[in-house]
Amino acid sequence: MKKLYYFIIQKTLPQFFASLFKAVLHLLIKTCRVEVAGLETFKKSQKDKACILALWHSRLAIAPELLKKFAKEFRYAALISRSRDGEIISTVVESYPQAISVRVSHNARFAGLKEAICEIKKEGRILVITPDGPRGPPKKVKLGLSKAQVMAEALVIPLSWSASSCFTLSTWDRMQIPKPFSRIKVVFGNPIFPDVEENNLKVEEGLLLADELSRLSS
């Protein structure tokens, strides 16, 4: 009985909700008018270095569909926590043929993050992360992530979007989902290069990334 309960809770329900969410998301995006800026800069800059695509947790909901729509030629790996919510997100991510999920502890420190970035670098994938996830505080970049970025010599591309009309959920991050038929503006920000020596301190503190994400989200 316990095995059946585990199978339903840990496998069947996440797959059901993930499939439902993906279908709704796909239909939602099809009703919206989507504009994108900075896409060519993103495509060019990621060719020479390991690349991390970073967005606030509140902008995560439609990210898979946006990447499928505008940059499906790349392979992605999403850094996702080992939690029940993370199981659903992981199932959604892996339903896209060009994406895999990398499960880490919600309090993963520098060494674990660096190892994940280096492994993904070998596979030629773009790592997708939410620097304030999975539990916040919202819009605060975790120090361990920025240090791992510097040590792995990975550039960071900030990503954000805004919509003319949104649903805002009552979650810790104030998750946003565009309303049907809204206008969505997607922006790939300026690359942040860790090997620029004078920027390393700010990169390690997450200041450059936080500033750029805040600018794109405004």
pLDDT tens, residue by residue, 51-82:
889 999 999 999 999 999 999 999 998 888 77
Percent of the chain with pLDDT over 70: 78
Residue 136: per-residue pLDDT: 81
Say how many residues make up the chain. Answer: 218
Q: Which residues pair with 171 in a beta bridge?
A: none
Element spanning 132, H or E: none
DSSP one-letter code for 83: S
Q: Which residues pair with 52 in a beta bridge?
A: 127, 156
Distance CA 31, CA 184 (A): 11
Distance CA 174, CA 111 (A): 30
Q: What is the mean pLDDT of the chain?
A: 82
Amino acid at site 152 = A
Whose structure tokens read 């390991």?
Answer: 50
How sure is the predictor about 162, in pLDDT bands with cuts at 50, 70 and 90?
very high
Q: Region 197-204: what's the mean pLDDT?
A: 57
pLDDT at 91 over 60: yes
The topology (CATH level 3) of 32-217 is Glycerol-3-phosphate (1)-acyltransferase (3.40.1130)
Query: What are the tens digits of pLDDT across the range 104-152?
Result: 766 655 666 766 777 777 788 888 888 887 788 899 887 766 666 676 7
Q: Within 10 Å of residue 31's Cβ, how many Cβ atoms?
A: 11
